[in-house]
Amino acid sequence: MPPHFQLDEDNDVIHDAEAFSLATESAYQAAYSPLRLYLRQLVVDKVKRENPKLAAIQHRYRSPELDRLFVFSGMLGNHSFFMIALPFLHTFGMGAFARGLTFVVLWSIYFSGFVKDYISAPRPASPPVVQITRSPAHTLEYGFPSTHTTYAVATIVYISHFMLNVWHISTVWVGLMWICGVTIVVGRIYCGLHSFIDVVGGIVIGIIEALCFVFFFDRLDALMLSTAGPLYSIAIFYFAMSSIPRSLDP
């Protein structure tokens, strides 16, 4: 039977996250390697222990105003936002910066999705946590790591590098950008869509990814713009897509 959504009086999604897994623990044990099972269990146990803390945070701080703030901030870190925003950077002729940021966003999707499928850990269970989202289908996805957090951290680290070292923009504007980023990250916990471990995982992946692009993008960009660049791109993306781990849930 396909999963269904239950909504509370505020139209917030309520469900037991584990109920959306179509695979049993015995199926995971039969299909996953010992290392993959070990890492998955570490994250699953951590998420379960954090559920009461997340519920307590919502009980203490939740308000209609914060609901609207964090739902809106979540929209700044999803696929649709970047699909709309990135083409404008290329249209306005921002060259290497636009290409670099596009790579950062694309690989944020890839790396966070890769780890999500490899770990296969559920999101926080609801109840006790209330999941506040405009896209209930997102609650069907695995939780670790937070893709929104990976997006936010990776893009802001990369943009900060350009603002401080290339464009020499005031640190005030950099600080305001980081405030927006923190709002996105905190919102994932406030909205009950991710646990603390999910957010920490997204932060780590985002920082590592962004620093790699900061230090190596000039060489990568020159390679992609070379005559053989399209062939390199095809080879890289074929290898990346064929390497995505297979999960037991759809």
pLDDT at 232: 87
Q: What is the DSSP letter of 141?
A: S
Catalytic residues: 148, 194
The H or E element that residue 89 is part of is: helix 79-91
| pLDDT(218) > 90 | no
pLDDT single digits (tens) 78-104:
878 888 889 999 888 888 899 999 999
Better-scored residue on pLDDT, 9 or 164: 164
Sign of the CA dihedral with 156 first, then 162, 165, and 171 last: negative
Burial environment of residue 132 by CB neighbours within 10 A (0 to 12, 13 to 18, 19 or more): buried
Given this model, what pLDDT does residue 79 score? 79
pLDDT tens track for 116-128: 999 999 999 888 8
Please write the tens of the pLDDT for every residue from 8-48: 445 444 444 444 454 677 888 888 899 999 999 999 999 99
Query: Cα-flanking dihedrals φ and ψ of residue 86, to 5°?
Result: -60, -40
Identify the band that residue 212 occupies on the pLDDT scale cut at 50, 70 and 90: very high
CB atoms within 10 A of CB 178: 17
Average pLDDT over residues 46-67: 94
